[in-house]
Structure 1
Amino acid sequence: MLTDNQRLSLNRAICDYVRHNGASNELVAQLDSLLLANAPQDNADAIATQDTKLLEKKWNSIVKLQSRIMDLEKYSAELQKSIDEEQTTQKQISDASLDWEPKDSPSFQVTLGASITALCLHPTLPVIFVGLDSGKLLRYDILNMELPLQSIVAHMDGITSISISLRSENGRPAYLATASKDLSAKIWELELDSTLSHIKTLIGHEHTVSDCQLFERGADLLLATCSRDLFVKVWDTSNGWCIKSFQPHTQWIRSINVHGEFILTGSNDSAIRLTHWPSGNGLSMGIGHEFPVEKVLILIPDPAHLQPQYQPLGFQNVASASRDGTIRIWKVCLPKFIPHRPPRPNPLDTNFKVIAVLKDHQSWVRDLHQFQNKLFSCSDDGTVKCWELNWEKLSDTTCAKSWDLSKNGFQNCLTLDNITFTALPLRKLLLSGSNEGTLTCFMR
């Protein structure tokens, strides 16, 4: 809608345009009487002085504006095409990442002089953190392994586990956590150049702290630990307080894996258990290994392969590695989800179902890691193996490749890029640590 001034200005411009383009005096007089007769005198005097070629200029401006709009539409279409092509390229790279396997031979090997008991890759920098059985924590540049960037006597006894978190969007620093046989866990702040600074020591376990994992809950960064004292503890890293403690097993808890509000544990009692940690409710368990479970892992599938009923849980399969030389893949039984109440076990279904038993290792299986549709394992038989996960039918999981590192001793631990930090892991690294102190690295 036009204001009175705008309407009067338009009418005057129409009359001026007609007058200056050869119209008869009679037609001009008729237009003046029709369009300008009722104009207020104060407005009419002001409008009478306006440019007589205003309508022509306005029309030219509209044409130019229309041309500009057409140019912008063309530019927008080109940008959208570029975005579509980039997404297609990224998808092709992602699909290629699914098929990644390390080379047949190591890129390099380094002897560190003490048994390597824990490894952790920095998610973005070419940096590896190495925990030794002597309690030392080493930080190496993968591209120059001659000398460590940093060497710290982190614990009074062997380091059993290392976990890392990224810098958060709200400004929280990046952290590293270590667990040890000295009954403690420690929190270290990671500077931008990956330098470590000790900030907290978490005391509360009464025996060896076997495993640890940093994870986020809302804006909080928490640390889960498990111990030979039979307890799992969850710590608030901001103040060092233990906010939850529960006892899921009857024997030494050797391994832990966290996904949201759910914790998977493996124990010397040869069982694995799933617990809702905020409530402490035990939900279900897996029984079938003949000897202690050394490692547990929650398998995160492509979202397309997650069954709808498992959406509240976020996963449907887990894996466990044992001293009986096998890796078992299980299907988790679904707990009962009750609105506004913590999940509870389903009394009709409390035992995991065994989907596959992988028997290619000849001795204790020590560690497990997932990289998209690959599962990597290492063992006291001196080998590292890559397993192809067929999400459509996990029972068809097969060993795709094996690396014999037995000349370097038992293979204690593995580390790969953590795909939870980035949806598209372009860097492809696999590192293995042995009881004889040899660090082996496979690069793409």
Structure 2
Amino acid sequence: MSQLLTSRQAEELHKSIIAYLSASNLPNSAATLRSELNIGDSFDDEKRKKYEGLLERKWTSVVRLQKKIMDLESRCSSLQSELDSATPTSLARKNQDPASWLPRSPARHTLQSHRLPISCVAFHPIFSSLASGSEDTTIKIWDWELGELERTIKGHTKAVQDVDFGGPRGGTLLASCSSDLTIKLWDPSDEYKNIRTLPGHDHSVSAVRFVPSGVAGSPSTGNLLVSASRDKTLRVWDVSTGYCVKTIRGHADWVRDVSPSFDGRWLLSAGNDQTARLWDASSGEAKSAFLGHEHVIECCCFAPPASYVHLATMAGLKKAPPASSSSEFIATGSRDKSIKLWDSRGTLIKTLVGHDNWVRGIVFHPGGKYLISVSDDRTIRCWDLSQEGKCVKTLDDAHGHFVNCLRWAPGVVKDAGTTNGDVSGAAVNGTSGKKEDPGGGKVNIRCVIATGCVDLNVRVFAS
């Protein structure tokens, strides 16, 4: 038999074994081994003590190294898989172009404090604050860069269904809505004090969004807020007065979600009647209905202008619509496990199939090339619009249970002259793909998304 160890290494091993047997109160075995190896009295008790515990330490080190090797092999396999599906172009641009960034495991932070499932998340448009709402009736504010809980906001008496940052020129507000039939406004600059409660809906309020401002034909103040409810209506509120300025009716059942266009001209809603509807925000008149899903529509959003070039190709158009148009294409996600892409006239462009359970949240990548979705199948999926909506990435271990919500951090506006929390030129929370804001400033994409789950965890995925 060939020797794997040098004579020196073998001698050290033998002495370690003798020391181990002696320390384990096995003197006969130790003496027999001494005799067979011709280790004499020079290896006395004093020298033996030097070798006591050495064998155990080596053994535990080997186990630790084996685990580390297995972890590294798993990581290597994951990276190899990613490499195999990459193209030379994507490799060259990796970690360089934010427009090509996609979330990857593991999450940068897993935020834990809620006592019941998380229903919603929203990013502050300027600071590194993230709000999460839960069925435990609370809202929690986190620093998503540090992964730390900043405060817990209490005020609602039933489950918090949605949260959103936005508001008037010169001051960002946080809006929340709940199954307690109310919408509440909180002031981040005054320790999130509850400054106003908006009653009026006759049933649970499912979604709430600030309506962006700043273009001709839309409100210039940023004072408007839109909400969707189980009472089958959308309501538009003036947050400076607390008055409901418009009630929009047209859905036949629970309205689950509402999304404003980036310029505030249009509203998109969807719900239990298995339809999505496009509304003129100023008049409240219906423009289009989107029919085709076979179950409740859980989520909806407008496509950013950056994605028009890809969606126009999918729609068979020779030329992409102008970037100034804010309602050319939309996306909807449903309990029928599918995501559908539509043009503004209600024509179905593409159905994205891949999720194994209800689709609960969707957001377009600000760069325009991708659509990101989350589902009750516990995954995050990334769909490439430049490849006819092909699913190019799946995070199978995104969460341990149903993933309820998803948001993309709004872009940071550079050289736009925003000060003191003025978000008039900031990108819409998680929806904007514009490269310039109305004030002429450049919008830098923030490669950060947040998800909330039934497993009580909020996760932040960041570059």
TM-score, normalising length: structure 1: 0.69
CA distance in 2, matches of 1:363, 1:409: 12
- Equivalent of 1:358, from 352, 355, 363? 352
Q: Residue deviations 1:337-386, cap 9 Å, x none?
A: xxxxxxxxxxxxxxx11111111100000011122222111100000111
For the Cα contact (< 8 Å) 2:94–2:101, is it kept in 1?
no
Secondary structure of the 2:121 match is strand
CA distance in 1, matches of 2:373, 2:99: 17
Task: Name the counterpart of 1:376.
Answer: 372
1:139-158 paired onto structure 2 within 5 Å: 139-146=141-148, 148-158=149-159
1:408-427 paired onto structure 2 within 5 Å: 408-419=400-411, 420-421=427-428, 423-427=442-446
Tell which deviates more after alignment, 175-184 or 111-120. 111-120
RMSD between superposed Cα atoms in Å:
2.4
Task: Name the counterpart of 1:316.
Answer: 328
Segments of structure 1 that go 5 or more residues without pairing to the other structure are 1-91, 334-351
CA distance in 2, matches of 1:155, 1:173: 23
1:254-293 paired onto structure 2 within 5 Å: 254-259=256-261, 260-293=264-297
Larger radius of gyration: 1
Cα pair distance change 1:412/1:304, threshold 3 Å: closer
Task: Name the counterpart of 1:102.
Answer: 103
For the Cα contact (< 8 Å) 1:183–1:207, is it kept in 2?
yes
Task: Name the counterpart of 1:330.
Answer: 342
Secondary structure of the 2:443 match is coil
Equivalent position amino acid for 1:109 in 2: T
Q: Residue deviations 1:89-118, cap 9 Å, x none?
A: xxx999811101122322232333321111
- 1:236 Cα shift? 0.4
Secondary structure of the 2:174 match is strand
For the Cα contact (< 8 Å) 1:115–1:133, is it kept in 2?
yes
2:190 matched to 1:204?
A: no
Equivalent position amino acid for 2:443 in 1: L
- Equivalent of 1:241, from 236, 240, 243? 243
Task: Name the counterpart of 2:394.
Answer: 402
For the Cα contact (< 8 Å) 1:410–1:435, is it kept in 2?
yes
2:233 matched to 1:214?
A: no
CA distance in 1, matches of 2:159, 2:406: 17
- 1:155 Cα shift? 0.8
- 1:188 Cα shift? 1.3
| Percentage of identical aligned residues | 26
TM-score, normalising length: structure 2: 0.66
CA distance in 2, matches of 1:178, 1:268: 21
CA distance in 1, matches of 2:122, 2:236: 21
Cα pair distance change 1:400/1:158, threshold 3 Å: same
- 1:280 Cα shift? 2.1
1:128-143 paired onto structure 2 within 5 Å: 128-143=130-145
CA distance in 2, matches of 1:196, 1:371: 30
Segments of structure 2 that go 5 or more residues without pairing to the other structure are 1-92, 214-218, 313-318, 412-426, 429-436
Equivalent position amino acid for 2:129 in 1: V
For the Cα contact (< 8 Å) 2:254–2:271, is it kept in 1?
yes
Cα pair distance change 1:242/1:209, threshold 3 Å: same
- 1:320 Cα shift? 0.1
- Equivalent of 2:181, from 180, 183, 198? 183
CA distance in 2, matches of 1:166, 1:184: 18
Cα pair distance change 1:293/1:121, threshold 3 Å: same
Following TM superposition, where does structure 1 have runs of at least 4 consecutive aligned residues deviating by more than 4 angstroms?
92-95, 306-313
CA distance in 2, matches of 1:265, 1:293: 9
Cα pair distance change 1:426/1:255, threshold 3 Å: closer
By relative contact order (CA 8 Å, sep 6+), the higher-ranking structure is 2
Cα pair distance change 1:323/1:101, threshold 3 Å: same
- 1:405 Cα shift? 3.1
For the Cα contact (< 8 Å) 1:268–1:291, is it kept in 2?
yes
1:12-161 paired onto structure 2 within 5 Å: 96-112=97-113, 113-146=115-148, 148-161=149-162
For the Cα contact (< 8 Å) 1:244–1:278, is it kept in 2?
no
Cα pair distance change 1:94/1:247, threshold 3 Å: farther
For the Cα contact (< 8 Å) 2:140–2:151, is it kept in 1?
yes
Task: Name the counterpart of 2:226.
Answer: 224
CA distance in 2, matches of 1:366, 1:411: 7
CA distance in 1, matches of 2:308, 2:350: 21
Equivalent position amino acid for 1:398 in 2: K
Q: Residue deviations 1:175-195, cap 9 Å, x none?
A: 11111111011111221xx83
Task: Name the counterpart of 1:347.
Answer: none
Secondary structure of the 2:330 match is strand
CA distance in 1, matches of 2:308, 2:379: 32
For the Cα contact (< 8 Å) 2:167–2:224, is it kept in 1?
no
Cα pair distance change 1:441/1:136, threshold 3 Å: same
Equivalent position amino acid for 2:331 in 1: A
- 1:387 Cα shift? 1.5
Q: Residue deviations 1:312-346, cap 9 Å, x none?
A: 7523110000000000000111xxxxxxxxxxxxx
Secondary structure of the 2:301 match is strand
CA distance in 1, matches of 2:256, 2:111: 27
Task: Name the counterpart of 1:433.
Answer: 452
CA distance in 1, matches of 2:174, 2:94: 30
